[in-house]
């Protein structure tokens, strides 16, 4: 779904746009722009001080000022025709985008190429037979359009543009393929928390090679949680994270089908902890996941508080301290409690008024999942930060990755970087064994026998 601003006319018979030339761009503060847009017939100093010699030239082109405001995406074209006010005017939606592209031919050319790539992806997806997923070969796409996508920030931009297309739905990168998920039997992409009748993974994290990330490159992949050590090890190998003593990875982004979860996580979260959290969420019933999303609307934990805060939130004692009631407004809330406990219903008070009093007292909130409130003053700290063994996958994954790349590490030439700690230990053990072989042999004397 696209979103923009527009000015509508009732029963307009036709539109005849004028050829316009922007002589000057006048940038106002946000407040000044709002004031101007709300009263455009007043004389304005910024129009008087930016006089335009030619109003309409011999070719019929209108020469105008483009008025924009800080923090405002739209703009207004003004032709004062010798006056100090907007004698002629036209509303320009998304004027900031127009300025950004229009002032840079190179950016305009890049935008055209990227739009062509996105158009190609959408066309390929639409041409595929009905099914639950469409696979796009990114290497073939690179060759066709002459632009590197894999391992570059350009791919992030293309995916962002693709996500802005109506009906695109969910997609992900798997090695060299772009996978677009859609409903079986149609082109509409899957939306919501289910895919093929099953719930989607509750958390996904984009894991990137830290060194290359710090150098401005994006080399990484999305990992779905819950995950196992083997899957994580394969990811580490593909993005170049190859040893337990130099972890070399970062988390740069999150995804979740559940509202509020992505915002609560942060890049410092441990992968083992994310795995534990996702495992707990996978075991939750649908109504519990709805309750969790409603709870997160209450801001009982802050944005970026992390996986530890979320694990603590869903522990039994804390989770049961929240109430979720099937009520979308104050009247429904008052009616619910009046039916649940008729003796508490104040005489002469309407359901809406009673519901308003309850919501104010409990500091509750109406959400799309119902009315949610918290019966405690603060959360108890049930989780101690120690991840149970069954959810720990990182150490084994790093060891597997190091083992997989051991021949490459052994091929290091003299003068290259310092050997790893593991290599130094191995070398010391080999030297000790060799020293033991070369040492003079000592013989014991048998009791009662001759000396050897």
pLDDT tens column, 374-390: 877 678 887 888 899 99
Under 8 Å between Cβ of 132 and 197: no
* Rounded Cα gap, residues 235 and 212, in angstroms: 15
Q: Is the pLDDT of residue 188 over 90?
A: no
Task: For residue 134, give the H/E element and its range.
Answer: strand 133-137
pLDDT in tens, 100-145: 766 666 766 777 788 888 888 888 777 655 556 788 888 888 888 8
pLDDT in tens, 4-22: 777 776 666 667 788 888 8
Q: Is the pLDDT of residue 218 over 90?
A: no
The pLDDT value given to residue 190: 35
Q: Is this structure's pTM higher than 0.75? A: no
Of the two residues 326 and 346, the one the predictor is more confident about is 326
* Rounded Cα gap, residues 171 and 190, in angstroms: 9
DSSP class of 132: S
DSSP3 helix / strand / coil % (the chain, rounded to 5): 40, 20, 40
pLDDT in tens, 78-108: 998 888 889 889 999 888 877 776 666 676 6
Q: Is the pLDDT of residue 403 over 60?
A: yes
Phi and psi angles of residue 194, each rounded to the nearest 5 degrees, phi first:
-125, 155
385-404 residues labelled b (16+ CB within 10 A) or e (exposed): eebeeebbbbeebbebbbee
Q: What is the mean pLDDT of residues 223-250?
A: 85
Q: HEC states along 57-117?
A: CCCCCEEEEEEEECCCCCEEEEECCCCCCCCEEEEECCHHHHHHHHCCHHHHHHHHHHHHH
* Rounded Cα gap, residues 251 and 273, in angstroms: 13
The pLDDT value given to residue 170: 74
The pLDDT value given to residue 315: 84
pLDDT in tens, 148-184: 888 888 888 888 888 776 556 677 887 788 888 754 4
pLDDT in tens, 425-452: 556 656 656 655 554 444 433 334 333 3
Q: Is the pLDDT of residue 288 over 80?
A: yes
Under 8 Å between Cβ of 88 and 33: no
Of the two residues 421 and 28, the one the predictor is more confident about is 28
Q: Is the pLDDT of residue 276 over 90?
A: yes
Residues 6+ apart with CB under 8 A from 213: 219, 220, 250, 252
Mean pLDDT, the chain, integer: 79
Dihedral in degrees, nearest 10, Cα atoms 334, 338, 344, 347: 80
Residue 260: C-alpha distances to residues 163, 264, 296, 424 (Å): 19, 6, 6, 46
Under 8 Å between Cβ of 41 and 85: yes
Q: Which residue has the tokens 């190179």?
A: 106
Under 8 Å between Cβ of 318 and 280: no
Q: Where are the beta strands (DSSP E) in 231-278?
A: 249-255
Q: Which two tokens stand for residue 116?
A: 């062509």
Q: Which two tokens stand for residue 253?
A: 């982004």
Please give the share of the chain, as a percent, with pLDDT higher than 90. Answer: 23
Residues 6+ apart with CB under 8 A from 15: none
Geometric angle at alpha carbon 149, from 144 and 155, rounded to 5°: 125
């Amino acid at each position: 779904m696209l979103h923009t601003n527009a000015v509508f006319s009732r029963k307009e018979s036709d539109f005849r746009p004028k050829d316009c030339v922007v002589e000057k761009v006048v940038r106002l503060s946000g407040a000044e722009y709002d004031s101007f847009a709300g009263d455009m017939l007043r004389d304005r100093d910024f129009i008087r001080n930016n006089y335009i010699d030619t109003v309409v030239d011999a070719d019929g082109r209108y020469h105008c000022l483009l008025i924009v405001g800080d923090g405002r995406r739209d703009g207004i074209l003004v032709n004062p025709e010798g006056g100090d006010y907007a004698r002629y005017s036209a509303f320009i939606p998304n004027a900031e985008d127009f300025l950004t592209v229009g002032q840079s031919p190179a950016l305009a050319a890049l935008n055209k190429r990227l739009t062509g790539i996105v158009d190609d992806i959408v066309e390929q997806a639409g041409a595929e037979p009905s099914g639950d997923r469409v696979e796009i070969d990114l290497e073939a796409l690179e060759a066709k359009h002459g632009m590197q996508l894999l391992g570059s920030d350009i791919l992030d931009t293309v995916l962002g543009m693709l996500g802005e297309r109506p009906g695109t739905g969910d997609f992900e990168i798997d090695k060299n393929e772009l996978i677009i998920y859609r409903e079986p039997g149609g082109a509409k992409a899957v939306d919501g928390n289910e895919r093929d009748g099953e719930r989607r993974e509750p958390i996904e994290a984009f894991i990137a090679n830290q060194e290359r990330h710090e150098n401005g490159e994006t080399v990484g992949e999305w990992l779905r949680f819950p995950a196992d050590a083997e899957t994580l090890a394969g990811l580490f190998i593909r993005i170049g994270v190859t040893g337990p003593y130099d972890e070399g990875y970062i988390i740069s982004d999150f995804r979740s089908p559940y509202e509020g979860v992505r915002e609560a996580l942060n890049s410092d979260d441990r992968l083992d902890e994310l795995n534990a959290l996702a495992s707990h969420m996978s075991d939750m019933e649908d109504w519990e996941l709805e309750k969790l999303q409603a709870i997160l609307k209450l801001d009982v934990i802050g944005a970026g508080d992390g996986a530890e805060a979320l694990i603590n939130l869903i522990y039994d004692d804390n989770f049961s301290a929240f109430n979720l009631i099937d009520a979308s407004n104050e009247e429904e809330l008052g009616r619910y409690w009046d039916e649940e406990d008729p003796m508490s219903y104040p005489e002469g008070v309407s359901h809406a008024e009673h519901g308003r009093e309850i919501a104010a007292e409990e500091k509750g909130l109406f959400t799309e999942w119902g009315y949610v409130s918290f019966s405690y003053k603060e959360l108890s700290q049930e989780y101690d930060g120690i991840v149970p063994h069954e959810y720990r996958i990182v150490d084994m994954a790093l060891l597997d990755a190091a083992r997989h790349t051991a021949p490459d590490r052994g091929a290091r030439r003299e003068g290259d970087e310092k050997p790893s700690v593991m290599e130094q230990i191995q070398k010391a053990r080999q030297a000790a064994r060799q020293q033991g072989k070369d040492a003079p042999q000592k013989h014991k004397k048998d009791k009662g026998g001759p000396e050897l």
